């Protein structure tokens, strides 16, 4: 369970916040180091921690569906909170948020599937 807390959703949220902060500064070019690029495929902090998260969830007996829903629940919670607080999310912020979620899901699912295949073999 410790790995879940260290590498899971709390870390993802910290990385998302850091990405959004960077994109509001002159250091915007550093953002992909944390969140990756659209479509993923490059090394980033979000992809690295999501990879660990996917493996941890498999080792804890979670299903692949639960891995995907873990990040989907974050998306739903953030958008619900923004609505409740009447805090609009602008288009650029939403694109960044979506990129972070997509890259995290892809990395977590990829790691889960790879680990599962290795376990079966």
Domain ranges of the chain: 2-23+43-120
Question: What's the pLDDT score for residue 83?
Answer: 95
Write the pLDDT tens digit of every residue in 93-112.
Answer: 999 999 999 999 999 999 99
Query: Cα separation of 48 and 16, whole Å?
Result: 13
Q: How sure is the predictor about 121, in pLDDT bands with cuts at 50, 70 and 90?
A: confident
Taking the model in full, what pTM does it have? Answer: 0.89
Write the pLDDT tens digit of every residue in 15-52.
Answer: 999 999 999 999 988 999 999 999 887 889 999 999 99
Q: What would the DSSP string read from start to end of the chain?
A: -HHHHHHSHHHHHHHHHHHHHHTTSTTGGGHHHHH--TT--S--HHHHHHHHHHHHHHHTT--HHHHHHHHHHHHHHHHHHHHHTT-PPPHHHHHHHHHHHHHHHHHHHHHHHHHHHHHH-
User: Residue 56, exposed/middle/buried by CB under 10 A (0-12, 13-18, 19+)?
Assistant: buried
Question: What's the pLDDT score for residue 1?
Answer: 47
Write the pLDDT tens digit of every residue in 58-75.
Answer: 999 999 999 999 999 999
Q: What would the DSSP string read from start to end of 50-78?
A: HHHHHHHHHHTT--HHHHHHHHHHHHHHH
């Amino acid at each position: 369970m410790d790995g879940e807390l260290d590498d899971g959703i709390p870390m993802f949220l910290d990385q998302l916040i850091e990405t959004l902060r960077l994109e509001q500064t002159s250091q915007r070019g550093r953002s992909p180091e944390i969140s990756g690029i659209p479509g993923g495929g490059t090394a980033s902090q979000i992809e690295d921690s999501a990879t660990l998260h996917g493996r941890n969830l498999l080792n804890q007996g979670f299903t692949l569906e639960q891995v995907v829903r873990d990040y989907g629940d974050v998306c739903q919670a953030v958008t619900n909170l923004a609505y409740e607080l009447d805090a609009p999310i602008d288009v650029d912020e939403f694109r960044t948020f979506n990129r972070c979620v997509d890259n995290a899901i892809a990395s977590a699912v990829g790691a889960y599937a790879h680990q599962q295949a290795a376990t079966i073999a």
